[in-house]
Structure 1
């Protein structure tokens, strides 16, 4: 039987919610840069989280346009037994 956890300190924390939210927004805004952005992903529904992460990864990888390296000279047609 799982019960909701509550402690007295939760009420004190709740009174500071706006301060926490402001600090969170500042941290994301000031540390997210073009070459290393933050992505805030909702996680209360797993399928939404998974879709968001997959979409972000796909977009980033498409922008990177990764390519296979050219093989070294002399290995073309080489057979490993």
Structure 2
């Protein structure tokens, strides 16, 4: 599960993960879709950890005035508020 989390952090496609793990891609996809499986938790945790890093960096850029980062952080805020 640790490897799935690490690979999800670098956005490795599920089909590539399946090759490395020597399992059929559809089997891994099914595990990742099953919210009760360890693969689901590892995969999504990895993605979210990378998202945190990216958004942290984007916030730093927004604070120093990057127009694109400012726009993206505004969108992130709206997405956050929609999810509340």
Per the TM superposition, whether the score is higher than 0.5 is: no
**Going by fraction, where is helix more abundant, 1 or 2?**
2
- Per the normalisation by structure 2, the TM-score is 0.30
